[in-house]
Amino acid sequence: MINNIIEVSKLAGEVIRNGFNQNFEIEYKTNSSNLVTEIDKKSEELIIDYVKKNYPSHGILAEESGEKGLDSEYKWIIDPLDGTTNFAHGLPIFSVSIGVIKGKEIIAGVIYDVMSDVLYSTEKGSGSFRNGSKISVNKRDDIKTSLLVTGFPYDIAENPLNAIEHFNEFLLNSRAVRRLGSAAIDFCYVASGVFDGFWEVTLQPWDICAGKLMVEEAGGKVTDFVGNNYEIIRDSKDSVSSNGFIHDKMIEILRKNSK
């Protein structure tokens, strides 16, 4: 199955790459910050058609078209273009993210960094890989010297769950904080030791699924903001991932600003 996920991720990536910096239609889902382009839809259609052809009994949860057959034992969780705002503005940081769940357990994931042509893959119990080479989290244990990454929700003006306060506090307690615009790539950079930790409020299942397994199989840790594990399907999640060594400190900061 992992080879098929890799194959369809690259096919979707080709659609996205061919559409980059071209003329395309943009729609707004909820507000002017929440975009969807025709390229998102083309990528998603390609992936769903592939799943239906090769795994007709499997369920699907995709960002743009919603859910189908989630009572199936196997479920494909699809973000056809993670980083749409970057894509729409010509910033070449975006990805295809596909995770597969069996029952309630994530068993495989692929994240394709399209413009860098870097493919991250993972299977439950087998580790995580970057272009076929095994990756692992780093061992930095001092948050004061850590490089962190985050993202902001589309409704950041409403400051959900004190997102702005979290950002300010981490700025004061780390070496630096970055904001790339693709949660899937953020997870991969934690898994490969570039970032020490990543947090974000109200991520959706398609934002998290492949990335969560990627970090865990690379030796890292992924929880909600109070340190609990969580299921992926249906609900938005507040997610914090790290190399494991700074996780408790990140949770401490998040709890402080959640009061």
What tokens were used for 253? 């900061």
Q: Is the pLDDT of residue 119 over 60?
A: yes
Residue 170's pLDDT is what?
97
* Strand positions, DSSP E, 155-215: 176-178, 197-203
d(C-alpha 82, C-alpha 213), whole Å:
17
d(C-alpha 1, C-alpha 8), whole Å:
11
Confidence of residue 228 (pLDDT cuts 50, 70, 90): very high
Residue 15's pLDDT is what?
97
Contacts for 9 with CB less than 8 Å, ≥ 6 apart: 96, 98, 110, 111, 112, 119
Mean pLDDT of 155-172: 89
CATH fold of 143-256, please?
D-Maltodextrin-Binding Protein; domain 2 (3.40.190)
Return the closest-CA partner of residue 113 out of 233, 210, 205: 210
Residue 37's pLDDT is what?
87
Residue 233's pLDDT is what?
77
Q: Is the pLDDT higher at 146 or at 65?
A: 146
Q: Is the pLDDT of residue 259 over 60?
A: no
Q: Which amino acid is at 49?
A: D
Q: Which amino acid is at 193?
A: G
Mean pLDDT check: name the lowest of 20-34, 124-138, 216-230: 20-34
Residue 31's pLDDT is what?
64
Q: Is the pLDDT of residue 222 over 60?
A: yes
Residue-range domain boundaries for the chain? 2-135, 143-256
Contacts for 71 with CB less than 8 Å, ≥ 6 apart: 59
Residue 160's pLDDT is what?
80
Cα angle value 97/59/17 (rounded, 5°): 30
Confidence of residue 232 (pLDDT cuts 50, 70, 90): confident
d(C-alpha 190, C-alpha 218), whole Å:
9
Average pLDDT, the chain: 93
Q: Is the pLDDT of residue 257 over 80?
A: no
Q: Is the pLDDT of residue 128 over 70?
A: yes
Return the closest-CA partner of residue 6 out of 105, 118, 85: 118
Q: Give the C-alpha distances (Å, rounded to integers) separating 222 from 22, 76, 127, 231.
A: 37, 20, 15, 11
Residue 32's pLDDT is what?
58
- Cβ(250)–Cβ(150) below 8 Å: no
Q: Is the pLDDT of residue 147 over 90?
A: yes
CB atoms within 10 A of CB 52: 15
Which CATH number describes the domain made up of 2-135?
A: 3.30.540.10
- Cβ(118)–Cβ(130) below 8 Å: yes
What tokens were used for 98? 């596909």
Confidence of residue 161 (pLDDT cuts 50, 70, 90): confident
